[in-house]
Structure formats: structure tokens, C-alpha cells
Structure 1
Amino acid sequence: MIDTFYNLDALGTPQAFLLALLIGIGFGFALDRAGFSSSRRLAGVFYFTDMAVVKVMFTAMLTAMLGLSYLSAAGWLSFDRVFLMPTIYGAQVVGGLIFGVGFVMGGWCPGTAASGAASGKIDAVVFLAGAVGGSILFNELFPLVKPLYSLGDRSLRFIYEDLGVTRAMFALGLTTVGVVVFWLCEWVEKLRNGRSPYLGSPFLKAFSVAYIAAAAGLLILEPGPNAAVAGTSGAAAAESDLLAALDRADDHVEPEELADRLMAGEPGLTVVDVRPVDEYAAFHIRGAINVPLAALAQELESRRNVGAIILYSNGMTHPAQARDSLQRQGFANVFILTDGLVGFRARCLMPVSLRAEPLDSAAAARVNAWRAYFSGGGAAAAASATLPAGAAVPKLVDTAWLADRLSASNVKLIDLRPQPDYNTAHIPGSLSLNVESLRGNIGGVPSMLLPASMLAAQFSLMGLEPPDTAVLIVGDKLHDATLAAMAFERLGHRGYAILAGGFTKWLAESRPVDAVLPHARASNYPSPEPPNAFTADYREVAAAIGKPGIVILDVRPAAYYSGEKSDEARAGHIPGAINRPYTEDVDKSASFKPTEELAAAYSALIPDKQTQVIVHCRTGHQASQTFFVLKHLLGYADVRWYDAGWTEWATKLELPVER
């Protein structure tokens, strides 16, 4: 598929500049060879003495039209990925008149003037200087001419759609008109000059036949006329509705409106920054995600016609182009931010004291609230861009902490609740993860934590990076979060935390939720070497039995510890193991009990925090919670996790069991 530098978000790359230079050189060479470095010849078209301009321009237009049409028909080019100028009647009519008058008076257009200047033509240099001066004047007077700039804006229109014909039919018609124009130009030149280089020549005849045949060939590659016209009529009707909406500016969102909607936590609202990643990292609107122009359709597919998608850049050109492309691909929920980031900063973030017009108290309070939320006026705004690299993050964070950092690009939310619960509502931006996907059958033992390489591959699919801070969110099963935490432990990923109170507390506090699937771009998470040193296998556990300075802690319910109940190969417990069920560490709301209460309970069992503690349950799931309590909440120095647990121990008949 042929692509463009615009869609690849590579307009500013050295390759793009080099190609632009080569195209410019080639274009200038072609202009010079066509005689367009002479202002007399260029102006001759207005006096019907030299029709070269008309002939060359029609040749270029027909060649481009037919070439692009064949590329599209062959599937090598999609017009949705090519930037096409919108139709703005007022600006284009007035601009065309100014351009035409200037062409007649000066004998040059910008491109031919550059060619003439390169050939040493003084008048071409003067013309270029005037063009530069005019551009500067236009820039300075833009506030005055701005209404004209959008007068009669009809967005992107195609003549063939307005005429109700197919693209191929229009191409054949325009090519026929072009061939007639070629012959007329030759006739006019003969009439005015007494001679014509090509009139009646074999070349002109062959040229005409070749172009008409090429245009006719497009009819073969398109559907039958009835189906094509019917399809085009439907497309034209849809286009008409779209253009009417654009005329009403239904596709624009004012900066003030966006600020209010973001602060209100509107469900389903997706704000997309299409600028380069370095500009996004330097500053972006709180809550916005960064998606390259080339990847918009793919990355936003899950949000097609779900909620509202608002695009912005520094100005409005790139978002408008992206909006047009997305709308033609079936996105009916795409909007652009009026005046872009520049307008947002000027209208929402400029201090009240610096504004040209005084604000009343209500408006001033509104601006101050925006500034506090978006531009660093408070802790929330300060945390919104990114969490500082290496920042210390507690292993338990509360809902206020998360709310302040909800839009930080390096804070990733992982929702561990059942899929139906997640689908119904989740914290905006949360990624869904089935915690059991982190475990598998290892060496015949079920429910073992996967090797680091497999966990790294899964983290890569979720778009996680080593510097990210992952916040684990549960419903009523706190040990789901601690089991997921063991995956982070295995990968040596220190930046993770569990949301205290989970989704239940977040929802009870009326904090924002939505049901939108988040944007997640795959990463390349590294697999650490050597393997982790926080687990223990059955050999190490067996060697620890009766050994001073080591405690084996069985966290299963008391009835399973005693052997009264069993759903494994053997009942009982590892000799010398002590018991504290994992359920005793949480309260009725599925939150950890106060740290002081936990510390008192465990100090009675294991007074010395330097003692090595090996925790286990049946399969490691419940024991992961006790591991988290001992290591991260209470600060025990050497905690090991026997994740194979009683499931493995009970099946190995050579290992001792106590009841």
C-alpha cells in the first residue's frame, strides 16, 4: 500500500525533506523545459498567442488523475490516506481572482517564478519578493480576513459525487474535455500565429487516443453503472449530511466546553493529541492520549462511534485532516478542538490578570478552576502529565492518589475483576486482565506463576513498560491483586500498587467510570535475567523444616491446616508449619486491616522481622496476599513464596505430612 509522509507522521523527517528537495528540483527542471521560466510565454496564454500553459497544466492534471485512479483501482492507494484540499468557496474565489490578476500583471506564479529566478530573471526575483511580502502581510492582517478564510467552507467535495456519476465516468468525461482543449489550443495558436506545431500531427492523434483509452479503461475496473450510480448517490447523500454538519460547526468543540467536560469526568470522552510524542510529553491537555496520525484509525477502532473522540494539535489543520479521514472510514463521533492547543491555552489557561478584557467573579473563578486542574495549579494538575521517573510509590494507594494521577501517561490501570463487571463499568483507561492468565501448568504442577519470559510477553501486549507504575484494581477479591503483584515481582517491576478499597470504593465515591475499551499500544517488555529469588520450591521448603531462623507459614483455613478438611491427595500440613489464615488480614469490605493491627498480630507469630518466612497455601493464590502483607506492609526482610503449595506437597509421598 502506498502511504504518505503525512499519514506516517513523518513530515518533519530528513527523508521527507530530501524527497521534497528532489521533487522540487524535478519540478523546476520540468517547468524550465516547458518554457515556463519565461514570463512572456506564461503571459501569452492571456493573449492567446502561446497556449503552452494550458496544454501543460491539462496534461499534468489528466496524468495525475488517471495515475491515482489506477493506483486506487489496483488497491495500492487509498484516497482516505491522501490529503485533499477542502472546498472553501469564499477563500478560493477571492484567492483565485487575486492570483489571476497577479499572474497577468507579473507573468509569474510562485512555482514558475522560482524557476525563472533560478534562470537569472530579475522580474522573477521581484515577483518572489512580492510573494514573500504578501505572505507576511496576510499573516499580520489575518484577524481581518479570517471570516473570508472560512466563508463557504464545504469541507471536502468531489465533483463526480455532486454530479451523481462514478469516478471513472467523470475521469473519462474530463479526459475527453482535455483532449478537446488540446486541439482547440493548437487551433488558436495557428489562428493567432499562423502556425501550430502539433495540429493534425500523428503525435496529437496518438496522444488523444492514448489518454481517452486510458480513461475508458477505468470503466472496466469499476462496478456496473447502475450499481455504481446507486452507490454514489447514497454516498453523496451521506456526504451531504456530513457537510451540512460541518457548516454548522457541529464537529467543533470549544476549549471552554472541553475543559468543563474533562473536569466533570464525562464517560466515554476520548481526547486525542495528534502531535509528535516529544511535544505531547512536554505538555498536553490533562486526560489526553497521544496517537500518531498514521495510527489513528487502527488505535481508535475500539472507540468507533462510542462516546466522543476529540482531536487536537497546536492548530486545527492536522486535526481537521484527520477528522475528514476518520469520518470517511465510518467514524461518526469525531470532533476537533477549536483553535487547537494554542486556543485552549489562551482561553482556558491564561491567568485572569493577563487577560485583555476584565472578567466577572464567576468567570474568573471558572478560569482559576481550569488552571488548577490543567496547568499545575494544584497537586492534581502537577501529577497529570507523568509520574516522575523513579518516584517512590506506596504499594497501597488510595482513591484520591489515583484520581490525581488518572491521566498520567506512565500510570497504567489494570482491572482484575471478572470480564462482565469490567465491561459494565471501569475506571477510565483501565486494562482488563484475567489474573488466571498469569498462571499455568509448569512441570506438571497446575496453577504455577508463569516464567518471566511469558509474563513479559503478556505485559508487552498490554503496552506496559518497565518505568510504568501499574495500579491493580479488584472488586471483592483482594488476593487477585496480590497474585498479579507476584508477576510484577517476578519481572523485577517495582512500580506497582494496589488500589485500597478497589473499584467498590471508587464507585462509592462517585468518581468517573466508563465502559470504553482503552487505547493500548504494544510494547517490548524485557524478560529479566537471572530469574527471581523470592520463591521457594519443595526442596527448599523440606530443607527448612525444623531449621532455626526459618518459619513456614500456612495461610489456608484452619480446618485444612489441621487435616479436618481436604481436597488434595493428602490432608494435614507441613511439619512445623504455623497457621494464620489469609482471611484474617482483611476486613468485611475486602480491604486490608489497619497496619497497626496486622503488625501486632504478626509480631506475636514472628517477632523478628529478619526471620526468613516461607508462605504457602494450596496453589499460591491466597499465600500471595500474606506475602504482600509481610513484605510490603510490615517490612519483613526475607519472605519467600511457595506457589506450588499444598497441591504439590501432598502428591509427593516422600515428603512428610503432619496432622
Structure 2
Amino acid sequence: MIETLFSTDLLHSGPGFLAAFIVGLLFGLVLERAGFGSSRRIAGVFYLTDMAVIKVMFTALVTAAIGLAYASFLGLVGPENLYVMPTVYGAQIVGGLIFGVGFALSGWCPGTSLVGAASGKLDAVVFFVGAILGSIVFNELYPSVEFLYNWGSAGVRLIYESAGISLAAAVLVLSILAVMAFWVAETVEEKGHRPGVLKNTRFFRSFCTALIILAVGLFITPSTPPSSATSADSSQPVAVSTEFEKALMASIEAAADHIEPEELANRIMGNERGLLVVDVRPAVEYQAFHIRGAVNIGMAELADQLAPYRNRGLIVLYSNGMTHPAQARDSLYRQGFRNVYILSEGLTGFMERCLKPASLRTEPLDAAKVAQINAWRNYFQFGPSVVAASVPEPVESPETNLPGIVSADWVQQNLGRPGLVVIDLRGQEEYNRGHIPGSMRLDLESLRGVVGGVPSRLMPVQILAAKFSLMGLQPDDVVVLATDGKPRDATLVGMALERMGHTRYALMETSVAKWHSDGRPWDQALPTVTPSEYPVDPDADTFTVEYQTILAELNKGRTVILDVRPVDYYTGAKSDEARAGHIPGAVNRPFTEDLVKNGEEVFFKPLPDLAKAYEALIPDKNTPVIVHCRTGHQASQTWFVLKRLLGYTNVRWYDASWTEWAARPELPVATGASESKG
């Protein structure tokens, strides 16, 4: 079980020490009463003179198996509450042989030797001292035998799963084997004329019968999954299975769950978006010293407090060493977390490798390395006072429905919170001179290219997902699109997000320039980003149409074709394409008619004004509408206004737009202004 006194942050307390002391006394008392304070009695099992070890061990096994099975079936215990040792054939076979030989020769194991020593047994003291010396020798020889730790690694192997039977059947088989072992042990002792044989007593028969009845009862006990488990979705807890554990062990073996101290230090100093460093030590140790920016969470509360950050950003766990963070990481992995890492060598390694003065180091250091060490020390030891941090709250729900528009105040209030992604659509030089803290610049043209022979079309969803994955985007993130007076740039990125099925985005109503002039937070540092794997949904785009659809709709006459280019391009007075004019039957409302300039700010007109303008063009909000321009860029703005701001239900977007239509001589073209409306 992993719900220990340490994990509940109680071991360092007075009651915790008292509880541990009492448990230790009781454990020793039970061992002594079982006769395990005598090496002769323990070794007797190898000479078939005393079978106490067999009876005690089988009693412990069958009791634990039945108890855990019932707890699991009743939903009291889930996989996250258990630590199951992985199967490593090399280590366990060799280690088992060494342990068995030592056990047979000495009559002691580490636990019973302490009981024997407490009882004044000299051979127990000798064994215990030998065990300590053996551990020291093993530590020194470890590099030579390390290969055994990986030889035959098979992850967590559960016998009943490997045998293809149910847990209830496995417990019943174990119970039958235990009863048989008890009977054999009692028979051996009876033939050896050992006193106290219970085989023919009512207690023995009742005990064995009770074990079988309890085991059989599992077959009729309804299975209730723990409240924390069930879905196979990566965002939800998952149940333990052999393949699942293999994947877990493979990641551990490859050290894919580790982050080195130097890398963590650089990521923290780079203010990486979505990075959450968690100190799992007791509160008193955390308050004495902790890594700057780390939050303190007890192991028992990790799953609950980190739930909003499951598979969002990067979570790094650390303690003084690595044992408890590793156990916590494994538990969180079983609950669906795939973004949890542990700090290599723990806080001890961090202090040694990052905070140790250059003057005290024995390895050769060049000037760059010395400068790096000094930078780490200045930041983590001599920077602003290291105060206790709290787990950052997830991004708040915007004041409007998404997709939509958010205020600069809302963005500022949520800066730095997990789940907020700010994308700056200005030029590279402008971005380099300063930007909203944590924001990432996106080159609009990187989302477009030649598709189907037509230039400047939005890329396929697979390419878009890969692009946004490099920016660390997660499906639950709220994306804020920031521009300088070009809402159409933001809406084109919005179309890319819509194509991916990501509708949690909004346009910031304030330009980046005004954000800066208003004295809001400003930065020149480049954010550090952890790439994600944004899931591809090939069916999310239901709004993009091709020219064949428009041609078919022209014959039906029920769809409003909305051309949002400037009037002179609509009429044919000007043209940048193969032919001038417009699609027959299309009506014209230039995209600029939806905007208003207020000083240096350019943004959408008030919604009542927009609603009134489009009521004159479109019969009702359920009327089919197809918007287009020259390349789809300007039309994305009109699509956003109609679909996301005004609530029109059936709005589609002709991405290839006039560039493709004009280049196809078989498609009809009209000229003139008779169908133009403003």
C-alpha cells in the first residue's frame, strides 16, 4: 500500500512517530509469538522438523489475498492505492537463490534477526551485522551486477492475468493451496511427534473451511470500481493491466520519466509556460528550503490537487531523494497522468549540480559553465526571497461564450495560469521588441500553403495539429489571439483551430500596442514550451466547402453566397486573378464594413449594428450561407462574425475562394454592381 504515514505527511509528527513505534512493537511481538525469534525453529522448515514458517507465510498470503480481493470488489481499493513490484527475472532469480541459501545457513532473515537480537540471540546480532556489511559490499559492486536489474524485465506480471483466469478464481486456487499446505505441514509435524499439532482439532477444520467459504464468496460479490478509476481515455484514470504496466515499466527503464537538475533549473528560469514543480516533502522541510517556485503537496493529496493539470503542461515531482517521487509518479501514471516527471537525484542532486559554488567543484570548468553556475545560484539562492508558493489556479472561464471575444483585463488576470495560451500574430521584429508575457508568436502564413493546386489555402488538419503541438497546445486550453488592428488575422487562425475541433479560443478586443501603452505586463523573454501531441480529428471540419458545392447551390437558389471583397473587386473593376467579377447570384458586403476605427484601435462594430446589417442580406439565422473572398483570409472574419458572434447556424467557408473560381474557365462569372449590398 502506498497510503503510508510518510505519504500522508504524518511521519515527521509526534503522533506519527508514536504510531510507527507501536506498529513496530506489535510486529516484533507477533514474530516472537510465532517462534521467529529462534533460528532453530526458522531453519526447521528445511529439515522438516518445524513447519511454522510455512504455516505463517501461507496464512499471511491467503489473508492478504482474500482481504485485498474483497476490498477491490467493493471499491475500497483501486490500482492507485497499490504498489505492485515489477517482475525482473534476473534480479529475482539470483536474489532469491542468495536469500534462500543465507536463510537456510543462518536461520535468519533481516526482520527476524532484529527480533532475535532483541531477545539476546548472539547469532542474530552476527547475522544483522553481516547483512549491513553485505549491503555495503553490494553497493560497491553494483556497477558490475547492474545488468541483472534489467535482465528479464517483464513489467508487472499478475499470475491470474497470465493464466487467463479471474481474480476470484486465483484467490480460490491460492486458498486451496494454503489449506493443502497447512494439512501437509501438520502431517509432517505429527509424524515428527511435535507437540501442538492442530490437524485433528475443530479450530483447524473451521479455519480451513472459513478460508474456502470466503474465497468462494468472491464469485458472488458484485464488483464496484473505485471512484477514481475506469476510463481508458488518457485524461482519465486507467485500470491496471499487463500491457499497461509494461508501458509504464518501459518508460521507467528508458528514464523517460526523469528530468535532470540542470534542465529543470533552466526551464524554471525561462518561465516555461505550464511548468509545475511539486515538492512532496513534509511541510517543515519545504519551509526550511525549496526550489524557487515549487509548491508543496503531500503525497496523499497529489491526485486531487493535480487533477486539473492531468496531461496539461509539465509536472515535476521532487523530494530529498527519488524514492517517494517515483512511487508518486507511478501512482499518478496509473490514474491517467502522462505528464509527470521526477527530478533526477532529487533536491540533493539539484543542490549539488546547480547550487554548489564553482570554487568548490573538482571538475574542470570553462568560463561559460562558471557563468551558468553563478546564474543558477543568483536565481535560486540569492534572488528574491523564496516564499511558499501555492498551486496556480486553472484558467478561469471567460466572461463570454467560446469562441468569442475576451477583454484585456481577463487576459491579464489569467496570465501564467495553466490552460491559457496567448498567440501573438504580429511581425517577428515587433514581437522581439516586446510582447505579452508568455505569449508565443505565430507566423500566419505557416498555416497556409498550396493545397489541391490552389495557393494560400489552410493546411490539412494533420499539419495544423502538428504545428500547434509544437506550441504545446492541449485540447482544454483557452487560446487568446492577439493582433494589432487586424481581426481577420486572428479569425484565420481561428479557422485553423476550428478545423482541428478546438473551439476554446477568443480574440482579444484590445490590440497588443494598446496593451503595452496601457502599462500592462510586458516582456521580451522567449517562453519555453513543452510540445504536446494534439489529437487529430479528421471530421471536425464541417464548414469548409469546395467549388462543386457552390455550383450545386447556385442551381437551388436557397443559399446566400456572400462575397466580402472590396466593391471594385466584386464588380470586376479591379482584379488580381485570372478573371474579374463575382460568382453569379453572390451578394457583396466588404469585410471592412464590420469594423470600426476608434483612434488607433480597429475592432468589430457593436453587435446590434452588425445584426441589423446582416438582417438585410440574409433572410434568417437558419438560412444557408457561404462566405468567400479572394483567398479565404478576409472571409474568415465574416464567418466568425456570422457564426460565432451573431449565431447564424449554417455558415460555411469557401477557403479556395475567388483565386480558384476565377482560374477555372468552366465556372460562371458575373460582373457589375446590381447584387452589391452594404
Q: Which residue of 1 aligns with 2:384?
A: 383
Q: Which residue of 1 aligns with 2:113?
A: 113
Matched, 1:290 2:283: no
The CA deviation string for residues 177-208 of structure 1, in whole angstroms up to 9 with x for no partner, is 22222222234444566999244554433322
Given residue 212 of structure 2, which amino acid in structure 1 is its aligned partner?
Answer: I
- Change over 3 Å in CA distance of 1:14–1:87 after alignment to 2: farther
Secondary structure of residue in 2 paired with 1:300: helix
Say which of 281, 285, 293 aligns to 1:279: 285
- Where structure 2 has 5 or more consecutive residues not aligned to the other structure, the ranges are 225-230, 233-237, 400-405, 421-481, 483-514, 531-598, 602-678
Secondary structure of residue in 1 paired with 2:521: helix
Q: Matched residues in 2 for 1:147 and 1:364: separation?
A: 36
Given residue 273 of structure 1, which amino acid in structure 2 is its aligned partner?
Answer: D
- Change over 3 Å in CA distance of 1:504–1:187 after alignment to 2: farther
Correspondence 1:451-530 to 2 at 5 A: 505-507=520-522, 509-510=524-525, 512=527
Correspondence 1:66-77 to 2 at 5 A: 66-77=66-77
Quote the offset at 1:131 in angstroms. 3.3
Secondary structure of residue in 2 paired with 1:43: helix
Given residue 108 of structure 1, which amino acid in structure 2 is its aligned partner?
Answer: W
Q: Matched residues in 1 for 2:111 and 2:200: separation?
A: 32
The two structures, once aligned, show a CA RMSD in angstroms of 4.2
Asked whether the 8 Å contact 2:277–2:316 carries over to 1, the reply is yes
Asked whether the 8 Å contact 1:314–1:342 carries over to 2, the reply is yes
Q: Which residue of 2 aligns with 1:197?
A: 197
Given residue 242 of structure 2, which amino acid in structure 1 is its aligned partner?
Answer: A
The CA deviation string for residues 506-545 of structure 1, in whole angstroms up to 9 with x for no partner, is 3553464999xxxxxxxxxxxxxxxxxxxxxxxxxxxxxx
Which shifted more, 327-336 or 240-249?
Answer: 240-249
Which shifted more, 303-312 or 210-219?
Answer: 210-219
The CA deviation string for residues 394-433 of structure 1, in whole angstroms up to 9 with x for no partner, is xxxxxxxxxxxxxx7389999999555657994325899x
Q: Which residue of 1 aligns with 2:316?
A: 310
Secondary structure of residue in 2 paired with 1:359: coil
Asked whether the 8 Å contact 1:271–1:311 carries over to 2, the reply is yes
Quote the offset at 1:383 in angstroms. 0.6
Quote the offset at 1:309 in angstroms. 0.9
- Change over 3 Å in CA distance of 1:413–1:58 after alignment to 2: closer
Which shifted more, 182-191 or 284-293?
Answer: 182-191
- For normalisation by structure 1, the TM-score amounts to 0.56
Asked whether the 8 Å contact 1:255–1:347 carries over to 2, the reply is yes
- Change over 3 Å in CA distance of 1:165–1:222 after alignment to 2: farther
Given residue 332 of structure 1, which amino acid in structure 2 is its aligned partner?
Answer: R
Q: Matched residues in 2 for 1:163 and 1:53: separation?
A: 27
- Change over 3 Å in CA distance of 1:169–1:362 after alignment to 2: farther
Given residue 294 of structure 1, which amino acid in structure 2 is its aligned partner?
Answer: A
Asked whether the 8 Å contact 2:274–2:417 carries over to 1, the reply is no
Asked whether the 8 Å contact 2:75–2:223 carries over to 1, the reply is no
Secondary structure of residue in 2 paired with 1:36: coil
Asked whether the 8 Å contact 2:113–2:128 carries over to 1, the reply is yes
Q: Matched residues in 2 for 1:417 and 1:328: separation?
A: 29
Matched, 1:427 2:415: yes
The CA deviation string for residues 554-576 of structure 1, in whole angstroms up to 9 with x for no partner, is xxxxxxxxxxxxxxxxxxxxxxx
Q: Matched residues in 1 for 2:239 and 2:300: separation?
A: 30
Matched, 1:353 2:359: yes
Quote the offset at 1:88 in angstroms. 5.0
Asked whether the 8 Å contact 2:2–2:82 carries over to 1, the reply is no
Percent sequence identity is 49
Asked whether the 8 Å contact 1:2–1:77 carries over to 2, the reply is no
Q: Matched residues in 2 for 1:176 and 1:202: separation?
A: 18
Q: Matched residues in 1 for 2:197 and 2:92: separation?
A: 35
- Change over 3 Å in CA distance of 1:64–1:417 after alignment to 2: closer
- Change over 3 Å in CA distance of 1:32–1:69 after alignment to 2: same
Which shifted more, 108-117 or 148-157?
Answer: 148-157
- Change over 3 Å in CA distance of 1:373–1:426 after alignment to 2: same
Asked whether the 8 Å contact 1:58–1:178 carries over to 2, the reply is yes
- Change over 3 Å in CA distance of 1:360–1:92 after alignment to 2: farther
Given residue 260 of structure 2, which amino acid in structure 1 is its aligned partner?
Answer: E
- For normalisation by structure 2, the TM-score amounts to 0.54
Q: Which residue of 2 aligns with 1:409?
A: 389
Residues matched between the structures, number:
423
Matched, 1:253 2:259: yes
Quote the offset at 1:253 in angstroms. 1.4
Q: Which residue of 1 aligns with 2:24?
A: 24
Asked whether the 8 Å contact 1:4–1:82 carries over to 2, the reply is no
- Change over 3 Å in CA distance of 1:431–1:144 after alignment to 2: same
Q: Which residue of 1 aligns with 2:51?
A: 51
Secondary structure of residue in 2 paired with 1:310: strand
- Where structure 1 has 5 or more consecutive residues not aligned to the other structure, the ranges are 225-229, 377-381, 387-407, 433-474, 476-499, 516-586, 590-659
Q: Matched residues in 2 for 1:151 and 1:423: separation?
A: 53
Q: Matched residues in 1 for 2:313 and 2:386: separation?
A: 23
Quote the offset at 1:147 in angstroms. 6.4
Q: Which residue of 2 aligns with 1:63?
A: 63
Quote the offset at 1:169 in angstroms. 2.7
Which shifted more, 129-138 or 339-348?
Answer: 129-138
Matched, 1:266 2:272: yes
- Change over 3 Å in CA distance of 1:220–1:383 after alignment to 2: same
